[in-house]
Amino acid sequence: MCKIGSLIFPLIQHFIKPSQTITYLFQLHTLQSVIHYLIEYKDPLLDKAHQILIGYFPSEEEYENKLEWELPILLTQDLILSKKPNTKENNDIRTKNIQSIKTIYDEESENFTYEGKIQILLKLFFHEQYYEYSYQEIIKIITEKDIINTIKSGNTEFIKNIFATIFEKGDYLKCVTLLNLINQNENQASFRSQHGILIPNYQKFSLLTNSEQLNYFSLDQYPKYQKLIGIENQALTLTTVLKDSPLNVLYENIGKPYGFPNNEFDFSKLLDSTIDCYSLNSDIYDQLNYLTIVPSHSHPLQASLNHLGKLAPIINYSLKEMKEFHHNKKFAFLLSENSLMPDYEKNFIKAYFNEDILIIENPSESEIKEILNDVTFTHIYISAHGNYEHSSRQIDSLEFNQGNIIPVSVFDNLDNSSEYQRTIILNACSGAHQGINLNFFHKGIASNLLKNQFVVFSNLWPISSEYAVILGILLIFNLHNNDDLREVYHSTLNTLKLDNAVIFETLKALHPAFESIVEKISDSDKSFIKLNDFRNLGAFCLYS
Higher model confidence: residue 471 or residue 211? 471
Q: Whole-angstrom Cα distance, residue 512 to residue 447?
A: 36
Query: What does the domain layout of the chain look like in residue ranges?
Result: 2-111, 331-543
What H or E segment, with its residue span, contains residue 333?
A: strand 331-335
Q: Cβ atoms within 10 A of the Cβ of 19, count?
A: 11
The DSSP-derived string for 411-436 is GTT-----SS-EEEEEESTTTT---S
**Secondary structure (3-state) at 276:** helix
Share above pLDDT 90 across residues of the chain, in percent, rounded to a whole number: 45
Mean of pLDDT values over 481-500: 96
199 alpha carbon, distance to own chain's centre: 10
Q: What is the pLDDT of residue 459?
A: 94
Of 43, 44, 45, 71, the C-alpha closest to 57 is: 71
- Which secondary-structure segment (H or E) carries 297? none
Check whether 43 has a pLDDT greater than 80.
Answer: no
CA distance 124 to 134: 6
Predicted local distance difference test score (pLDDT) of residue 503: 92
What secondary structure letter does DSSP report for 70? I
**pLDDT per residue over 431-454, tens digit each?**
888 889 999 988 888 888 898 899
pLDDT of residue 246 exceeding 80, the answer is no
Residues 177-187: tens digit of each pLDDT: 999 999 988 77
Q: What is the pLDDT of residues 271-320, one digit of tens each?
A: 999 999 999 999 999 999 999 999 999 999 999 999 999 999 999 999 99
Using pLDDT thresholds of 50, 70 and 90, give the confidence band for residue 22.
Answer: very low
The pLDDT of residue 341: 61
| 339 vs 242, residue with greater confidence | 242
Q: How confident is the model at residue 8 (pLDDT cuts 50, 70, 90)?
A: low
Q: For residue 20, name the pLDDT band (cuts at 50, 70, 90).
A: very low
Alpha-carbon distance 409 to 229, whole Å? 29
The yes-or-no verdict on residue 87 having pLDDT over 80 is yes
**Tell me, what's the pLDDT at 67?**
65
The residue type at 76: T
For 71-107, the DSSP string reads HHHHHHHHHHHHTS---HHHHHHHHHHHHHHHHHHHH
**Rounded to two decimals, what is the model's pTM?**
0.87
Largest alpha-carbon pair distance within the chain?
Answer: 92
Is pLDDT larger for residue 351 or for residue 253?
Answer: 351
What does the pLDDT average to over 22-31? 65
H or E element in which residue 264 lies: none
Q: Does pLDDT of 17 surpass 60?
A: no
Go through the chain and tell me how many residues it has.
544
Q: What is the mean pLDDT of residues 193-220?
A: 88
Instruction: Name the least confident of 111-120, 464-473, 479-488.
Output: 111-120
Mean pLDDT of 531-541: 94
Confidence of residue 130 (pLDDT cuts 50, 70, 90): very high
Distance of CA 79 to the CA centre of its chain: 30
- Of the given ranges (95-104, 474-483, 489-498), which has the lowest mean pLDDT? 95-104
Please give the mean pLDDT across all residues of the chain.
85
Task: Report the relative pairing of strands 331-335 and 314-315 from DSSP bridges.
Answer: unpaired
24-38, 93-107, 241-255, range with the lowest pLDDT: 24-38
Q: Which of 24-28, 109-113, 289-293, 519-523 has the lowest mean pLDDT?
A: 24-28
Residue 187 burial by Cβ neighbours in a 10 Å radius (0-12, 13-18, 19+): exposed
Determine the pLDDT at residue 11. 47
- Sheet of 422-427: strand order equals 214-218, 205-209, 195-198, 290-293, 314-315, 540-543, 454-459, 422-427, 379-383, 331-335, 358-361
Tell me what the mean pLDDT of segment 139-143 comes to.
90
- Please report the pLDDT score of residue 59 as a whole number: 62
Q: What is the pLDDT of residue 30?
A: 73
Closest CA relative to residue 428, chosen from 392, 398, 394, 471: 398
pLDDT bin (cut points 50, 70, 90) of residue 249 is: confident
CATH fold, domain 331-543, is Rossmann fold (3.40.50)
pLDDT of res. 340 = 58
SS3 398: strand
The least confident of 157-171, 191-205, 239-253, 296-310 is 239-253
pLDDT higher at 73 or 60: 73
